[in-house]
Copies of this chain bind each other. A is one copy, B any other.
Amino acid sequence: MSTQSVVTAIKVIETISLHQPIGLSDIAKQLDSSKATVLRMLNTLKELNWVAQSESRDAAWSLTIHAYAVTARASIGANIRDVAIGPMNGLQLDTQETVHLCVPDGDALVVVERLDTPHVLRAFLALGTQVPLHASATGLAFLAASTDAYVHEILGGSLEKVSDQTKTQPNSVWQLIKESRERGYSINEEGLSSGITSVGAAIVGSAGTPVGCVSISGPSSRIVAAKFEDYGTAVARTAREISDLLGQPWVRAVIATLSE
């Protein structure tokens, strides 16, 4: 059904997004589409200023800042992002570690905001990065705040081994989730990336369902077991603050004023 030329156009965009500077033939190959079709899409998108090709000999294509700006200024995440930035800042000052804000996109989380640590040795994820639910502090916190039905749906799927220490056994992950529920915050020791430990907590909407997560991340040499409780309570408090703010409509107006 429905407008397959638009479908291929969007798929072209998503393919470029995943493979950064990429050539015409490669895109056509990935989409199982003819080069002619793909090229017409690219030219149209170029006219619209959504893609550009490098002027070097390979003529590879990439997305433009314009495409980013269009999607960045809208999107549901904008609201939670603006509301969350205050409490996140406090958390960053308290812990001096990198703070991440993630929101769900399909069966994964996406990083939509980040505050950095002043430390030279640091951990951070680029904005827009996809984070798996089973292999991150934010993901575990999100699952801990989700229904058992959803958790088991995720655990029943394929649990990708992201780092050496990623737990890929449903039982092991389930154990981490149970612990997170008891504690009120989640801990992920090097499951997303070797050498990085994170502590996270879920932000819940008015309906009680999780709408996002915050976490702090740093090298395992600094985020040691002795600090888990301090960091965990701080993260959980921050998540609760954001949750509370989301429930109060007037916040939107105040933030709007400050950001003008």
Contact = CB atoms under 8 A, between A and B. Distances in A.
Contact of A71 (B67, B104, B112, B116): B67
B49 A259 contact: no
Given A68-B128, A93-B118, A105-B66, A5 B2 contact: no
A260 B163 CA distance: 10
B89 A75 contact: no
A151 B127 CA distance: 32
Contacts of A258: 122-124
Given A65-B112, A128-B69, A41 B3 contact: yes
A203 to B, nearest CB: 14
Given A5-B5, A6-B41, A16 B82 contact: no
Interface string A103-123: 111100010100111100011
Interface residues of A, number: 69
A224 interface: no
Contacts of A78: 126
Interface stretch (A7-15, A132-140, A164-172, A236-244): A7-15
A59 B112 CA distance: 25
- Closest 4 pairs (CB-CB, A-B): A72-B128, A73-B128, A17-B74, A6-B9
